[in-house]
Amino acid sequence: MGRSGRPVVGFVLGGIGGVLWGWFGSGGYEAGDSMLGTGLLCALAGLLIGSVAYTVAGRRDRRRR
């Protein structure tokens, strides 16, 4: 996988992690709302982390040239 896929992978993994966290962390009380909100916020955080990884990898590639 090239470095261009890192933001998308971060978005997907963050979303999945957030949904799981919302499901198991809610204790069964309004699990759907908790899954939706936590999944969205974690997906955005994953997108941010993936974008930073993409930028750092780009800088390393430029230094090697």
Q: pLDDT tens digits, residue range 49-65?
A: 989 988 888 777 666 66
Q: Is residue 21 part of a domain?
A: yes
The DSSP symbol for 2 reads -
Q: Is residue 63 part of a domain?
A: no
Q: How many domains does the chain have?
A: 1
Q: Is residue 64 part of a domain?
A: no
Q: Is residue 12 part of a domain?
A: yes
Q: Is residue 11 part of a domain?
A: yes
Q: Is residue 62 part of a domain?
A: no
Q: Is residue 23 part of a domain?
A: yes
Domain residue limits at 8: 3-57
Lowest-confidence segment of 7-16, 25-34, 44-53 by average pLDDT = 25-34
Question: 0.85 exceeded by the pTM?
Answer: no
**Cα distances (angstroms) measured from residue 64 to each of 2, 50, 52:** 16, 21, 19
